[in-house]
Structure 1
């Protein structure tokens, strides 16, 4: 009984813009922060990096949707490229050819009774907005809200599930902590908090715009996708480290939206403030929300979008060495050598960690509807898929036990990804 799917449960897959879509030199696109970057700037290990060598759904749309249907998926997650439909970033110049591509894709999916899930933003805003400061500029939240309103207006008559943003904290960390996008900055550890802060505001503005202008007629739902790893304390008597890891990984975004009191979690605020003081900052590196913003962000999601790939072992670093900590949370991250590794060795395959994340979300955030929008394991290109099938089966089994035995409110499961594509700094390996 624990392994039965609930009525109405959706299983699907997806693909996003840069790693898959191709055709970045088509129509009116004038460059976004990803396709305008060089291989050196993006620090991709595979030097043959090019966004025009990806799987080309832009050019093979009908063929791809038939494949999606053949597999038997109920839903398919697509990402709208900001630069493809608003090349200047603003709604005063709309690229109708770009809009038409997504309209045809949505109509084709519906023709086969495949529910489209549309993600409004996946890290590729127009280059012109980046030149104005990108997500370090608070105005970006309002530019994003205008863009989201256009997406709702154009697609909302057929699309009933919107995701405002894809893994904002991961994007901000890659850009401002790890310089993955070639960003050169002397204030990286300040800026990744500012970036996430402004993206939370942007999400809330876009959510409330849907409520005001579109919900009554379109009857859809809006959420955000958040990356949540799972953490196990390395030491058996340590009952704190795993929660600290969760608050920095997931709670950074989830607590302001789903937390009973809103705002950043007390753990996050306390830890960042402590390290900021130790490093000589006059105030915390974590920006503060006004009371108005706390209320505006709180509750601004109809579902919790979840991206889960990995689990880690964590242990606290010595308090006496606070200044030398490699991170604000003061944790050392390792893995159990017995955990199997995916082709991307950063991710260890720990199905139980998936179930434990779902149970933590249930307990911490009053069991919201969870849409698993990314889960899976990377492979090395082998054609015999028993290895991947076994791992996916293990993840699904854990999810179903969490649903049926433990009462977790999961409604969608999305395998990542439908195509092979560009994978972070690993290129096409």
Structure 2
């Protein structure tokens, strides 16, 4: 009853603020999850160990000492997940498949029939419910056996990854028509290989992330071409990937800070988007120049950023059917030029990154509520890459433990308004995805931060789910396909 009253009160407040705005018929709505964050069943049947199984089982890696062994127990409760999707009334569901659940040893010589059956059941239930599956092939959970061989720093990983992708295309491509090769390569490489923050926690700053990114770009391109050449003519689907980026705003109106903010955009979103979406391909010129110059000054015989051959540049360029983007917040950028003997991604970038302390916060230290940054980011993509079709695959807000989550509702209200502003600016946005369907294992933060529209009781072995106020708000928004102007 309290949640219903909250929704009614908020709708009344928003209605007083301004007129009703309608979403275009071309915009579809969904929610997203990731395999390791919700499935559990970490050693069910013949599933192999992945890097998050290994990472979370080590001491002092996860904030609350937890892991994803059970998580939301979606391995056993995916039918309830589909019921929740039907309750929300979404057009599509974006989820990922676990590499080591399908290929227990990481290699395609051994395919788990139980793993295939699990995703078959989920996909079939979605289609029966008239919900379109969007499948992410890789969402951070590399098989540990492949990490033992170097993971994303091993140049052979492109072959191993494409083998996995082909198994997925073969098994599910008759029903799945929307594929994402990777989720957030910037996070995979910077926080997993440059830093210790996320699995596998290699921590080779200024070197590991660039090798990872280089191999990951080649892996994406190889899987794209496989689908384009072999499976698209038969299955008639489409394929891309989704990149993550905050909006990076100059801290002042100075020319120096404007230059710094543009450079930061190239080191963040441009690192992976330029090679795929730009006319010229390759890494952004500013990345190549700065990393090469700093590497030489530090005594390296060559740039710490690997170089593509002309053939590789051509092979990677244009490997997209759409531009997928995940967005949560905005940062301020100030010029900060320093010299350093040690390699470091942020010193390579040469900027100071911070946020305005007056911006409303969330449970996540990095997530401030800045809706206008969403509009600016979408326009930057439009202007940088000739207005591609943009699918927003993650957008959401974290709190601690709250069913009556009015702050999350306010976040969605502001960001959906900003999305409409961008569409009115001419941005070709065709999908919006709320993160997340339900509370889940939030990586190195464990269960201390909640992003879900549905509340999950992690103290109950049955892992019951209940709709929060935000679930009812999102459901109402999808039913009316409208929102009140801020």
TM-score, normalisation: structure 1: 0.96
Aligned to 1:14: 32
Equivalent position SS for 2:444: helix
Superposed CA offset, 1:117-157 (max 9, x none): 00000111211111111111110011111110111111111
- RMSD, aligned CA: 1.7
Aligned to 1:139: 156
Aligned to 2:54: 36
Name which of structure 1's ranges 269-278 and 138-147 shifts more when overlaid on structure 2. Answer: 269-278
Distance in 2, Cα, partners of 1:182 & 1:166: 14
Superposed CA offset, 1:22-80 (max 9, x none): 11111111211111234445621102x02124111111111210111111111101100
Superposed CA offset, 1:168-205 (max 9, x none): 12011111222135657574321110001100000000
1:46 to 64, 71, 80: 64
Equivalent position SS for 1:270: helix
- Any conservation in 2 of the 1:81–1:121 contact (CA below 8 Å)? yes
Distance in 1, Cα, partners of 2:27 & 2:315: 31
Aligned to 2:254: 237
Aligned residues: 426
Distance in 2, Cα, partners of 1:264 & 1:283: 16
Aligned to 1:362: 382
Aligned to 2:483: none
Distance in 2, Cα, partners of 1:184 & 1:73: 36
What does 1:30-179 align with in structure 2 at a 5 Å threshold?
30-40=48-58, 43-47=61-65, 49-179=66-196
What does 1:9-408 align with in structure 2 at a 5 Å threshold?
9-40=27-58, 43-47=61-65, 49-181=66-198, 187-238=204-255, 239-318=258-337, 321=339, 323=341, 326-403=346-423, 405-408=424-427
Distance in 1, Cα, partners of 2:183 & 2:92: 17
* Unpaired segments ≥5 residues, structure 1: none
Equivalent position SS for 2:93: strand
Distance in 2, Cα, partners of 1:2 & 1:242: 34
Equivalent position SS for 1:92: coil
Distance in 1, Cα, partners of 2:98 & 2:202: 26
Structure 1 outlier segments of 4+, above 3 Å = 38-42, 181-188, 321-326
Name which of structure 1's ranges 230-239 and 113-122 shifts more when overlaid on structure 2. Answer: 230-239
Equivalent position SS for 1:52: coil
- Any conservation in 2 of the 1:42–1:425 contact (CA below 8 Å)? no
TM-score, normalisation: structure 2: 0.85
Change (3 A) 1:200 1:182: closer
Distance in 1, Cα, partners of 2:153 & 2:59: 20
Superposed CA offset, 1:288-332 (max 9, x none): 00011100100001011101112111111135x455875210111
